[in-house]
Amino acid sequence: MAFFLFQRCGEILFENPDQNVKCVCMLGDVRLRGQTGVPAERRGSYPFIDFRLLNNTTHSGEIGTKKKVKRLLSFQRYFHASRLLRGIIPQAPLHLLDEDYLGQARHMLSKVGMWDFDIFLFDRLTNGNSLVTLLCHLFNTHGLIHHFKLDMVTLHRFLVMVQEDYHSQNPYHNAVHAADVTQAMHCYLKEPKLASFLTPLDIMLGLLAAAAHDVDHPGVNQPFLIKTNHHLANLYQNMSVLENHHWRSTIGMLRESRLLAHLPKEMTQDIEQQLGSLILATDINRQNEFLTRLKAHLHNKDLRLEDVHDRHFMLQIALKCADICNPCRIWEMSKQWSERVCEEFYRQGDLEQKFELEISPLCNQQKDSIPSIQIGFMTYIVEPLFREWAHFTGHSALSESMLSHLAHNKAQWKSLLPKQHRTSGDGSPDHKGPGTEDEEQTVTEGDAP
């Protein structure tokens, strides 16, 4: 078996040659072009992201040119997983879940369509395998395994690859977030206004896109990659950098696992393109584009879900809702997600401060409090989208429940604002004024809290 080494680094170039060079290393940053012509990205190795200080030599006229990061592909990790799937017992002992835990996990799966589903508890009960366990269950209950004649072992292998390529050290953008988005997507696919029109292909695309929409997220946002001249920003010309990376990485894993290899070539090409369209729709910078289009459709009453293009558009909207639905969860779970995403923001801000870079919006722990970040996010991003989603669903029980949780959670965060930032009578923060465009722009430019 051949092993390959790849040079992988993204450099920050400083004017002062005495400063160090920081490399941000991500998975799958080598592009592959498969038979279908859609560029994919090769999977990388553990650890998933590596913030390293590479001491610059004073004898070199260029910073970072003599020190590259070289790492093996994840053959050992992948080979270990494949051995388990083939039934080969490893030498090291396996720590299996107690039957009581498995029983509780199975009981939770029987209620997977409930909005109060606790993904954090489910992840603990499955020993950190919430994404794999959830997707196997949903593929089975939706009849996708039978319909597409999928091999169960191959499906499991693919889902393990996806789960492992999320960065567990990210407080927010990790496999638990992917599982949470997938469970939300499942709930949205069951909405009566949508469900009766969906084909098995629509359902599979929706679940796959939800599961893989943030795969290999580095824990920093697009502006960070751009200003540090990361090679992925150059590769995708500063446009939907992370979303393109998530999509191409997903294609790479689909091909590596050969999950869909038995399907006609034209069908796999279509699946790859539609997955890309869905994942790219999660770019927060395209929020107004999709919201304006949705409002126009609802105003004109011209959505025809019998049409594949309109149906695909509503799948995009459903995925966008699932991706940012945390403020619409019950307070206990919503609060935990909010703290996690802000912790990820603050880590980026600390990194930027350490390397004397401008601190990105929402990433300054000294100035950007969790309540203020969340209130802005809810006001300018979440509320407008979910109001239109409720309009589309005919104000279904689920959509009304989500809006109720959203209002309650927003009130909770307002009560936690520092005294000097408490809202005035019109509901706008005193220190900002009512609904400024600058605040909306700041929220949009950051990652979705």
User: Under DSSP, is residue 174 helix (H, G, I), strand (E, B) or coil?
Assistant: coil
Q: Is 285 annotated as a binding residue?
A: no
Verify whether residue 137 is a known catalytic residue: no
Q: What is d(CA 156, CA 166) in angstroms, rounded to the nearest whole number?
A: 16
Q: Is 374 annotated as a binding residue?
A: yes
DSSP 416-438: TS-GGG-B-TTSSBTTT-TT-HH
* Catalytic pick among 142, 156, 167, 173: 173
Q: Is 297 annotated as a binding residue?
A: no
Going 187 to 192 to 193 to 199, the CA torsion angle's sign is: positive
Q: What is d(CA 378, CA 7) in angstroms, rounded to the nearest whole number?
A: 41
Q: What is d(CA 387, CA 351) in angstroms, rounded to the nearest whole number?
A: 36
* H helical segments located in 98-191: 99-109, 119-125, 130-141, 144-147, 152-164, 175-189
Residue with tokens 């390397």, as numbered in its chain:
355
Max CA separation in the chain (angstroms): 69
Q: Is 323 annotated as a binding residue?
A: yes
Q: Is 288 annotated as a binding residue?
A: no
CA 400 from centre of chain: 25
446 touches 380 (CB < 8 A): no
Q: What is d(CA 402, CA 408) in angstroms, rounded to the nearest whole number?
A: 10
Kindly give, in sequence order, each residue whose CB lies less than 8 Å from that of residue 403, ignoring residues fewer than 6 positions away.
328, 386, 387, 390
Q: Is 220 annotated as a binding residue?
A: no
Q: Is 214 annotated as a binding residue?
A: yes
Residue with tokens 């592909």, as numbered in its chain:
73
Residues in the chain: 449
Which residues contribute to the annotated binding site for AMP? 173-177, 214, 323, 374
Which residues contribute to the annotated binding site? 173-177, 213-214, 323, 374
Catalytic residue positions, numbered: 173
